[in-house]
Amino acid sequence: MSRLGRGAFIVFIVLRYGLDELVLSSFQKPWIRLLARILSVGRDLRSPRAVRLREALERLGPIFVKFGQVLSTRRDLLPLDIAEELAKLQDRVPPFSSDIAVDTIERAFHKPVDTIFESFERQPVASASIAQVHFATLRSKTGELREVAVKVLRPGMLPVIQKDLSLMRMMAGWVENLSADGKRLKPREVVAEFDKYLNDELDLVREASNAAQLRRNMEGLDLVLIPEMIWDYCHNEVLVMERMHGVPISHVDRLREAGVDIPKLARDGVTLFFTQVFRDGFFHADMHPGNIQVSLDPESFGRYISLDFGIVGTLTEYDKEYLAQNFTAFFRRDYKRVAELHIESGWVPPDTRVDELESAIRAVCEPYFDRPLKEISLGMVLMRLFQTSRRFQVEIQPQLVLLQKTLLNIEGLGRQLDPELDLWSTAKPFLEKWMLDQIGPKKLWEELKAQAPHYAKLLPQLPRLLHDYLKQPRQGDAKQLDQLLAEQRRTNRLLQTLIYAGLGFVVSLLVLQVGMHLQLIY
């Protein structure tokens, strides 16, 4: 019944704000536009369409707001008025009462706000679907004052999210059972992934730990600043962190006037994303402009400032290696290898013909190489990719849905910063270097160091184990000694062979690495 009630409420909001009319009026056929006008009779739809869409998404709750945030980054897919209005969903969702925020803080830390903070700004500086942020000055135990940002969870979020997820699970079941593509699209697994990430976002202690991990990972990269978490004041409903000073990345004109190298900023964003994904397997997965600023401080001028770490993505070593091989083959236009990788991974049926899949991938990708982002129609690319995936029964990978969403954010951000950005040429050197690191002597040495404690624990036990084994022939079977000596001689020969093979393998890797470096140079 709760699912039916939520579904009825969604339909009511769609009709209340005229979203049905908005969709129908976007078609070019006269009879469809006439139908839209007929359906709008008796409803007050005088507000601009973009405002109605934004207000409807706000009324429908956090999942719909997040959908609007993703769309707001894709001005290449939406009319400009809608994209600009949806951008307000990034940090300008109507705030909840500051009295509720204060009550939440005091309940979390069992202290009056005035005893925790020297000052607390009751007017929130930013408000989004899950939480809102207030600036404050924290009084430390030593009496030192520190500027902080206080993030407070929006009340009543869990029941709304659970209702929406329940409805999505029901609809996923329908798609899986009724659609010809149901099994391939794996809608239940996709919804389960969103369920996990959205519930994680409601725990601000988890967000603080995500931020701390990203801060450690990014040390020494000199591309991004991540706020320090104040652990004495971290609670699942309240998060206190270092206050960051920066300019929102969407204010491109202001950044350009301040002297920021915008094309370099766009390239740094691509490098930052691929570093988090392929080097660390741990990436910021909510990178819309409301969560990204740029520092104008002289000591960190032109660096990114990342905020809001409620949603992060993780990749296994297998996923990282598989994706890196795909990207590298794609950037080299080795479509046959891309096709082989899809078959090897089980993403397509094993009886798929490599040459046919290779030809289909080439037809989708080749027209878009060596072009700046402004000349690439993502809508056309997605349509052709979807057609290809249906033809070859490509299975959706639920564990990569969050990565795909983040890629949409990154490309949309790149379009806003530098339409001339060549995404492929920017990412190719990074991925090729990463692949060299994965197969080179450095990786081999790291693996040996990682296994060293295990071997160090095992080696001292070998003499005792050998002694115990040698004692066995005295108990009646002398032939075992001869067998043991023969086995020892065979083992010695095997060890020699392995040592020589290992040395040959290292030499081969060194030769391969030098060859690949020469290839990159020339």
Reported as half-sphere exposure (CB side, CA atoms, 13 A), residue 225 has a value of 20
Amino acid identity of residue 319, one-letter, is: D
Residues 6+ apart with CB under 8 A from 68: 53, 54, 57, 86, 89
Contact of 10 with 16, CB cutoff 8 Å: no
Distance CA 282, CA 39 (A): 48
How far is 105 from 69, CA to CA, in rounded Å?
27
Q: Do the Cβ atoms of 414 and 295 come closer than 8 Å?
A: no
Asked if 117 and 134 count as a contact pair (C-beta separation under 8 A), the reply is: no
| 8 Å CB contact between 401 and 407 | no
Identified catalytic residue from 286, 308, 319, 418: 286
For residues 80 and 301, give the distance between their C-alpha atoms in angstroms, rounded to a whole number. 31
Is 114 part of the annotated catalytic residue set?
Answer: no
Among 249, 242, 244, 245, CA closest to 290: 249
**Token pair for residue 289?**
């402009």
Enter the tokens of residue 172: 């996923």
Task: Judge contact between 180 and 389, C-beta under 8 A.
Answer: no
Q: Which residues are catalytic?
A: 286
